[in-house]
Amino acid sequence: MADLTSLKYPKKSHRRKVKIPKSSTDLAEFFGIMLGDGGINNLWQANITVNAVKDYQYSLYIKKLVQRLFAITPTSFIYKTRDALRILINGISIVDFLVSKGLPRGNKLKAGLKIPQWILRKAEYRRAVVRGLIDTDGCLYIHVHTVSGKAYKNIGLTFSSRSPELIFQVAGIFEEYGIMPHISGRGADIYLYRKEDVEQYLKIFGSSNERISLVYKKWRGA
């Protein structure tokens, strides 16, 4: 339970009326988003920061997801000095709930960034949390190589995190579905190099971020 006397504005009520959701694929996907681009830096607010240009449509999806989960409308703003859009989710009850379900408060890496056990116990939750992670801290890319003067366009997927435990958790979930992950030497990146693996990922895990899906459509069109 949060201590109201330690709040920046102790006379202001931060314990707004919200819905506390049950475990679900929506909640697992939201946790993936929070583990990727989210943070909890005080007692009453969670936040998610995405690219204001490339992820703008995705930010609308995130806000609708928050509405479904907690029955509140999050606020958002765009930083004037950089292409970043921040979504703010206010409420002590929400923050208390997220922390109780395994999201770290403060510095995520120092707290031990990893997928909580309640998500790992169900296959559909594992798929959803990975989707949230890839949609935030992952990307699809097209790379061109030339053989005998002919250009070939290949598609790949990468996911980055400075948490070795999270990297190995995601790699293990990929392997459950016959997807072959390659972990970089420094252990901070996962790569899918084969188009079969990328297509398998999109078929099984899907994407809620058009930044991801549009790259695949572009590659298919090429």
HEC profile for 50-74? EECCCCHHHHHHHHHHHHHHHCCCC
Residue 143, SS3 per DSSP: strand
Query: pTM of the predicted model, to two decimals?
Result: 0.88
CATH of domain 133-221: 3.10.28.10
Asked if the domains at 20-112 and 133-221 fall in one CATH topology, the answer is yes
> Average pLDDT of 168-190?
95
What residue spans define the domains of the chain? 20-112, 133-221
Quick check: 13 pLDDT over 70? no
pLDDT (0 to 100) of residue 5: 38
Quick check: 11 pLDDT over 50? no
> Average pLDDT of 67-90?
94
Give the residue from 196, 49, 32, 62 showing the smallest Cα distance to 130: 32
> Average pLDDT of 4-27?
69
Return d(Cα 43, Cα 35) in angstroms, integer: 18
pLDDT (0 to 100) of residue 107: 87
Quick check: 12 pLDDT over 60? no
CATH of 20-112, one of 3.40.50.2300, 1.20.1250.20, 3.10.28.10, 2.40.50.1070: 3.10.28.10
Percent of residues, the chain, with pLDDT higher than 90: 75
For all residues of the chain together, what is the average pLDDT? 90
> Average pLDDT of 48-60?
96
Return d(Cα 83, Cα 94) in angstroms, integer: 27
| Helix 210-221 × helix 195-204 angle, to 10° | 130
